[in-house]
Amino acid sequence: MIHLAQKDISHTFGKFIVTAMGVGMLLGIVLIMIGVYRGLIVDATNLLDDVNADIWVVQENTLGPFAESSRIHEDLKNTLKAIEGIDKAEAITFQNIQLYTNSKPIRVEAVGFDPFGDIDPINPLHLIKGRTLNRAHYEVVVSAETGLNLHDHIDIGRDSYTIVGITQKTVSSGGDPLIYMSLKDAQQLQFSYSNATIRNDRDRGAVSNPDLHIVNAIIGTIKTGYNNNIISDNIARWKHLSVYTNNEQKEILTKNVVEKSSKQIGLFTIILVIVSTIIIGLIIYTMTLEKIKEISIMKLIGIPDGVIIKMIVQETVLLGFFAFIFGNIFSHLTYDKFPKRVILEAPDALTLFGVILIASVIASFVGVAKVVHADPTVAIGG
């Protein structure tokens, strides 16, 4: 039997391909939106995974530094180290700052940690150039996403820092590139006042005596054989602190922090899929209208509706298929140009392919309805 859809498509191949490319770009955006969502989740948990702590100890009644402001004393790490079951404990700070390099501002999140401590939040797998911190002051490791280079000097606050290492794909839950600095530098940056402020305070009779030994969280690891939850409950009960296991922190991040963004992206993706379906439907309707005379002739010479409907449905599915191919090409060519992480995964693409196939069949109904109602006498101008 003659493959009518194939014949019709090859008759107007250029037009068909351009149409498929147009719809494909729309599907490419859908794939990128899904990729943005995946990137959001990975970014959100990136730092947590790199730190790889078992527990996060934060200010009482707060959710921790990723969701709320948290301030606790640095020496609590020593208290924690004395608790049975705790293997390692270190203080850590987080602070959003803006760097100015070549007059271009870069928003980053600074992670402060003790370079001589037991826990290094810099994942060696992500360190692509240089080394981790091994001095107490004026060294930073920066994410490659900042655009800064090894051995560059940058001014942060009142001091100049040397870049001693470059990491890759290390961003905060908000997608800002990370820079790592010593805990002392981070505390100085976050809690000390400028000279002018100190002078002003003195003139006003106020005493500027900032406590520089404040941190945002204490992270700890648990010895083998001890239960994370029991230790967490004990610390929270007796030390008046909030304690979260790594999984709880992850849940806070993914549910409380990125949930709204995820829902927003999810809704946007659904709308885009619906819009794509409507557009495919409109294209098929127009393509069917353009062929209405040929369809009428076929009906007139006795070709059954089934044969004509098969042609319309096959054309729609082929349009969806080619659009999906172009969408994949488009998304893979552009995903790394986006400022935030976009992760394209094969299962997402396959799911979208299934959705588009179903959407194409639904979209073909408008063309099929036109075929069913086409009057054979239209062919002869009747």
Residues in the site for other proteins, rule: CB under 8 A? 1-2, 4, 7-8, 10-12, 293-294, 297-304, 307, 376-377, 379-380, 382
Cβ 6 to other proteins shortest distance, Å: 10
**8 A C-beta contact, residue 241 and residue 59:** yes
Residue number, 22 or 304, with CB nearest to other proteins: 304
Residue number, 354 or 382, with CB nearest to other proteins: 382
Residue number, 205 or 306, with CB nearest to other proteins: 306
Exposure string over 355-368, b if 16+ CB within 10 A, otherwise e: bbeebbeebbbbbb
Give percent helix, percent strand, percent coil of the chain, each to the nearest 5: 55, 20, 25
Residue number, 105 or 382, with CB nearest to other proteins: 382
Residue number, 6 or 96, with CB nearest to other proteins: 6
Helices (H) and strands (E) in the chain, counts: 11, 12
Please give the structure tokens belonging to residue 238. Answer: 């007796």
Residue number, 8 or 120, with CB nearest to other proteins: 8
Residue number, 212 or 307, with CB nearest to other proteins: 307
Cβ 309 to other proteins shortest distance, Å: 13
Which amino acid does the sequence have at 94?
A: F
Residue number, 157 or 376, with CB nearest to other proteins: 376
Residue number, 3 or 237, with CB nearest to other proteins: 3
Q: How far, in Å, CA of 50 to CA of 253, rounded?
A: 15
Q: How far, in Å, CA of 148 to CA of 156, rounded?
A: 14
Q: How many CB atoms lie within 10 A of CB 223?
A: 12
- Which stretches does DSSP call E strand in the chain? 55-59, 72-73, 86-101, 104-113, 127-130, 139-143, 153-156, 159-167, 178-182, 214-215, 217-222, 241-245
Cβ 105 to other proteins shortest distance, Å: 58
Question: Tokens 């893979």 label which residue?
Answer: 332
Nearest in space to 291 (alpha carbons), one of 88, 74, 2, 5: 5
Cβ 1 to other proteins shortest distance, Å: 5
Exposure string over 28-63, b if 16+ CB within 10 A, otherwise e: bbbbbbbbbbbbbbebbbbbbebbebbbbbbbeebb
Cβ 348 to other proteins shortest distance, Å: 36
Cβ 380 to other proteins shortest distance, Å: 5
Cβ 285 to other proteins shortest distance, Å: 18
Residues 6+ apart with CB under 8 A from 347: none
Q: How far, in Å, CA of 38 to CA of 337, rounded?
A: 16
Q: What secondary structure does DSSP assign to 317-361, as a single string?
A: HHHHHHHHHHHHHHHHHHGGGSSS-----HHHHHHHHHHHHHHHH
